Amino acid sequence: NTETNLVALRRTIYLTINSSLDFEECAHKLMKMQLKPGQEVELCHMFLDCCAEQRTYEKFYGLLAQRFCNINRIYIGPFEDIFKDSYSTAHRLDTNRLRNVSKFFAHLLFTDSISWEVMECVKLNEEDTTSSSRIYIKILFQELAEYMGLKKLNDRLKDP
């Protein structure tokens, strides 16, 4: 029964996302759903899953996740955990998903929606990285540099 409820919740979230004209309408509709405690994590996963499935990165998903992090701090932790998880499992993502996921998290970092401390999980050496995780980080930093400019990004990395 719990599995059935989870599938129904994911389906409702998916349909709401896809029937919304913009991220503000989507956020409004999803907020009205009044999730039960613990379902916030599923919402966060759905944002990333839907984003990853797109042919190209849609800023809609970054803005949507940003809005939820700004509205209620309860969403920040799950997104930070999902960042760490997606980085450690980057080798399971195809190139397109990898690009979209990296750009999604670049948006959340750039807007300070999640803490830059999530970068602790990134160890840049040959032993601790895969070709996929290196691509993930490359895209993430390219996006951050584009959003922030190199100087601001460099300053931010030195003093998170």
State which residues form the domain around 6: 2-158
**Whether the Cβ atoms of residue 139 and residue 102 lie closer than 8 Å to each other:** yes
How many separate domains does the chain show?
Answer: 1
- Report if pTM > 0.75: yes
**CATH number of domain containing 113:** 1.25.40.180
- Residue 160's pLDDT is what? 61
Per-residue tens of pLDDT for the chain, all 160 residues: 788 898 999 999 999 999 999 999 999 999 999 898 889 999 999 999 999 999 999 999 999 999 999 999 999 999 999 999 999 999 999 999 999 999 999 999 999 999 999 999 999 888 889 999 999 999 999 999 999 999 999 999 887 6
Phi-psi map region of 103: left, alpha, beta (phi>0 left; psi -120 to 50 alpha):
alpha
Q: What is the 3-state secondary structure (H, E, C) of 21-90?
A: CCHHHHHHHHHHCCCCCCCHHHHHHHHHHHHHHCCCCCHHHHHHHHHHHHHCHHHHHHHHHHHHHHHHCH
Task: Check if the beta carbon of residue 103 is closer than 8 Å to that of residue 139.
Answer: yes
